[in-house]
Structure formats: C-alpha cells, structure tokens
Amino acid sequence: MKLGFGRPKQKDPSIEGSAESAAGNRLKELCGGDSDLYGAMSRLMFLDPKKITMPLERVVGDAQEYEAQGNKLRAEVAYRIAGGISLYRSDVDSVNKFFSKAASLAGDSHPEYQVILKRSSEAVAIARKYYEEFRPSVAQT
C-alpha cells in the first residue's frame, strides 16, 4: 500500500507549460528564426524576470568571491546570472563584461556565451523588446 508521502503535489502542467511556451515562442519570433541566437538567449536570459530576487551587485560580489577562492564553477554560474540580469536591464557593457568572465571560466563548454558576446547589441535589443511585452507589473531590479 502506497500512501504517497514525500511525493510533491502535482501542478497543472497545462497552465504552467502554456505560459512558458508562449514566452519561448515570442522569444523565437523576436530572434527572427536565428536558431543560434534563440538557443543562446533562451538559455541565458530570464524568461520570467519576476524570478530575479538578488540585486546585481550582490551576484557580482559573490562571483568575485568565488573566483578569488578558486571556485571556478560557482564563479562562472554567478557571472552567468549577472549577465542575465544585465540583459534584463538592457546594459550592453555589463552583458559583455559578465558573459566574457563566464566564458573565460567555462572554456569551450558553453558556446552560447560566444554567441551573446559576438552579438551583444542585438541580444540586448531582443531582450528589451521581449521584456517590454512581459514586464508591465514587474519592477526593475
């Protein structure tokens, strides 16, 4: 006899999935059919900016601390998050700075960093359009 203890409650996947697929579809449209750019953007930007809970300054501080400690993986992830927040803020210089740091720590394991770095102005423009449509009730961090 199974009692179901420890099992997570089932969410309604149709509601959650449809919102995520609508956002993904819109991002794909904004990328104009460019699969490389779409792939990089969908992995690196926050599709739901309400989930950004830490200020950029704290994320960068954490990244620098991890880097100083020699923890390359955690530093890379923190710089990646900082880059995603920078996409949300439409800050091309910060996008370049943080994804460049993440790329240097990751080596060749994340080619999406190079796509964003080569086309950062275009990526920021796409992110800006995307967030303008999905941001009405979200305060900028």
Number of domain units in the chain: 1
* Structural domain contains residue 3: no
76-98 tens-digit pLDDT: 999 999 999 999 999 999 999 99
Give the residue numbers spanning the domain of 99.
17-134
* Structural domain contains residue 12: no
For the full predicted model, state whether its pTM sits above 0.85. no
* One-character DSSP codes across 52-109: --S-HHHHHHHHHHHHHHT-HHHHHHHHHHHHHHHHHHT-HHHHHHHHHHHHHHHTTS
29-40 tens-digit pLDDT: 999 989 999 999
* Structural domain contains residue 129: yes
Lowest mean pLDDT among 66-75, 92-101, 114-123, 130-139: 130-139
What pLDDT shows up at residue 130? 94
Answer yes or no: is pLDDT of 22 > 50.
yes
* Structural domain contains residue 85: yes
What pLDDT shows up at residue 35? 93
* Structural domain contains residue 7: no
